[in-house]
Amino acid sequence: MKKYSVLIVGGGSTYTPGMVLMLLSQLDRFPLRKIKLYDNDPERQEVIARACEIIIHEKAPEIEFLASTNPEEAYTDIDFAMAQIRVGKYAMRELDEKIPLKYDVVGQETCGPGGIAYGMRSIGGILENLDYMEKYSPNAWMLNYSNPAAIVAEATRRLRPNSKIINICDMPIELENHMATILGLKSRKEMDVRYFGLNHFGWWTEIHDKAGNDLMPRLKEHVRKYGYVEDESLYTDPKRDSWHATYQKARDILELDDAYLPNTYLKYYLFQDYVVKHSDKNYTRTNEVMDGREKDVFTACRKVAEDGHCHDDLFDVDNHATFIVDLATGIANNTHERMLLITENKGAIANFDPTAMVEVPCLVGKNGIEPLAMGEIPQFQKGLMEQQVSVEKLVVDAWITGSYHKLWQALTLSKTVPSATVAKQILDELIEANKGYWPELK
């Protein structure tokens, strides 16, 4: 079997050690000859890299390891770039969340003004990395899960239309894992799903088992009572409490429209007032992540480097990230596996903008991905999606043209923002906070 060379872009990410352990657990179906890390922050990557080097040396010494902040060295001789960058890191995410909250508007990583601000920072970072990949390994594929994936996908569709980049999100996968547990199935792969939407903005329309039995009635009965919480006793970690509330809130989203099962991110657009009321303006999700995941991962990495070896219980293997290997092997082996991916609509949702970047089931093969037809969607979902996709397109317009007005319109159109006046106040603060990260707006 061919052996692959993989570059993790954003090597200093909190997800890197779990991702490396996941890759090492999948070598029988995705054999590797090299694992490389690339980041533009040498100090941050160094801590993670020293631990990864020891882990790889212990578990698979035949795999070459290299961590670099030099784009040529990092991007030369790779087959896949797995991108997980966060331009501006947690310091900027914190502002994305806290600035809108000052105006009683949702403060969230990828939704509303925070997601727009993050999008304005991410576009340049992703383009820069895509260009390195095309220069140094022109046959490679970028599997991107850097956020906000919807805005990044629209930007690369417009600005790098021929690039080999596929954008993917783990939220539907995580929720399908919950569904499988609720149903008592061994794996989400025992379900055949139909789904449509935008990234962080979608619905499951059908879920069947492999014998063709409809699983929706049982799932809806559970979600009506408990949301996507499979088992209350699993939620003992206070650092994940806000996820617990998010899974529970699916109850109310289903009550509003019980035709389909919703993605949990819809809560930010449908229950904005509830979200703001339950947010702590001084301690947001970023603070939870910095006090939780970031501290845990960096402490564990320093311990591995000090001890010179890795104890098995130090890191969680990112098992649910095996979808990235599914995607890579789908391309490498032309498997035509069906996966939920972000792609240009091109009629997959019949009554929706053909140029919109939508999230639908696709077939994965050697030449990329092909969306499957999901048919027509109802007025409620269509209306919501048209508004949100217009926000995403206006952000990309603003980034390309440097237009203050386009970005003001984008914020005003976001369902999370109450008026053009509030949109302008938030925008003006975000511009100050993002100096050096956004193109200059006129």
By beta-carbon proximity to ligand NAD, the closer residue of 42 and 383 is 42
Site track 130-169 with ligand NAD (rule: CB under 6 A), x = hit: ---------------xxx-x-------------------x
The count of other CB atoms within 10 Å of the CB of residue 387 is 13
How many residues in the shown chain lie near ligand LEZUNG72 by CB under 6 A? 9
Query: Least CB distance from residue 85 to ligand NAD, whole Å?
Result: 4
Say how far apart CA 290 and CA 90 lie, in whole Å.
8
Q: Is 312 a catalytic site residue?
A: no
Applying the rule CB under 5 A, the residues between 151 and 180 that interact with Mn ion are: 169, 171
From the CA atom positions of the chain, what is the Rg in Å? 21
Residue 222 in the binding site for ligand NAD (CB under 6 A):
no
Between helix 420-433 and helix 404-413 the angle, nearest 10°, is 120
What is residue 259's DSSP assignment? Answer: S
174 binds, among Mn ion, ligand NAD, ligand LEZUNG72, none (CB under 5 to 8 A by kind): ligand LEZUNG72
Q: Which residue has the tokens 């947001």?
A: 284
Q: Is 170 a catalytic site residue?
A: yes
Residue 169 in the binding site for ligand LEZUNG72 (CB under 6 A):
yes
Say how far apart CA 67 and CA 23 lie, in whole Å.
16
318 and 22 in contact (C-beta within 8 Å)? Answer: yes
Structure-block tokens of residue 438: 């956004």
Tell me whether strands 141-144 and 80-83 are parallel, antiparallel or unpaired. Answer: parallel
Applying the rule CB under 6 A, the residues between 91 and 120 that interact with ligand LEZUNG72 are: 109
Q: Which residue has the tokens 């492999």?
A: 210
Structure-block tokens of residue 114: 């925070």
Among 27, 47, 171, 363, binds ligand LEZUNG72 (CB under 6 A): 171
Binding window for ligand LEZUNG72 (CB under 6 A); candidates: 43-51, 95-103, 163-171, 381-389: 163-171
Say how far apart CA 224 and CA 245 lie, in whole Å.
14
Say how far apart CA 345 and CA 150 lie, in whole Å.
13
Among 1, 3, 29, 41, binds ligand NAD (CB under 6 A): 41
**What is the contact surface with ligand NAD in residues (CB under 6 A)?**
9-10, 12-15, 39-41, 44, 84-87, 89-90, 125, 128-129, 145-147, 149, 169-171
Catalytic residues: 170, 265
**What is the contact surface with ligand LEZUNG72 in residues (CB under 6 A)?**
109, 147, 169-171, 174, 285, 289, 320
